Copies of this chain bind each other. A is one copy, B any other.
C-alpha cells in the first residue's frame, strides 16, 4: 500500500486522520489499520468506486442507523442499478418482479434497487428472444434464500453493531465473488461429466479384450 493512497483516503474522509504525534508525523492505531484493510477489500474484491466505498463506510460508522436499516442501506450502495427507462415495457417488467416477490412472501422495500436489476434481466432475455418470466428465477431464488439463511446467521453471531455491519458488507462483497467463482467451477464440473469427454473409469482404462 502506498502512503499516497492512504493520504488520499484520509482526504476523502474514508479514513480518520491519525493523531499528530510530532510535526510531520501522525500516529495510527489498530483501528486505522483495520479500516485501511476494509477499504482495500472493497476496492480490490468488488472494484467499487471510492464514492461507493464512502457511502458504505458512512453506514458502518453511523451508530444511529439500526442494524436492519444498515443492511438495506449498504445493499443500496452496493447495487449497480441499470437504467431501464420508464417505458410501459420496463414498468411491466418491474410489476412482474414485484408480483412474483410478493407471491413468494419476500418482505423487501417497495423501492429496493435489486428489483430493477431483476426487471432488467427479464428485458434483456426477452430481447435476446429467450422468453423468460420472473417465475423462471425460482431456482436462483431458492439458492439465494438458503444462502441468506446462512449469511444472516453469521451476522447474528457478531460482536456488536459495528462488527455486524462490517460482516454484512464483507460477506456480501467477498462471498458474492466466491459464489460467482464456484458457480462457474460447478458448471465446468457438470459439463465435463455430461457433455465433455467421459472421464476415465475408476481404476484406469478397461483391459483390452
Name A's B-contacting residues (CB within 8 A).
34, 37-38, 40-41, 44-45, 47, 66-69, 71-72, 75, 78-80, 82, 101, 106-109, 112, 114-115, 117-118, 120-121, 124-125, 127-130, 137, 139-152, 155-156, 167-168, 170, 172, 174-197, 199
B75 and A187 contact, CB distance less than 8 A:
yes
**Residue among A78, A120, A124, A196 with the highest chain B CB neighbour number at 10 A:** A124
Question: How many copies of the polypeptide does the oligomer hold?
Answer: 2
B41 and A188 contact, CB distance less than 8 A:
no
Q: Smallest distance from the beta carbon of A161 to chain B beta carbons, Å?
A: 11
Known: A117-B178, A172-B187. 10 other contacts (CB 8 A): A67-B196, A71-B187, A107-B193, A112-B185, A112-B188, A142-B146, A143-B182, A144-B183, A172-B184, A179-B183
Known: A37-B127, A125-B170, A195-B156. A179 touches B179 (CB 8 A): yes
CA gap between A150 and B143 in the complex, in Å: 11
Q: Smallest distance from the beta carbon of A153 to chain B beta carbons, Å?
A: 9
Q: Smallest distance from the beta carbon of A190 to chain B beta carbons, Å?
A: 4
A118 and B179 contact, CB distance less than 8 A:
no
A151 and B184 contact, CB distance less than 8 A:
no
Neighbouring B residues of A75 by C-beta, 8 Å:
184, 187-188
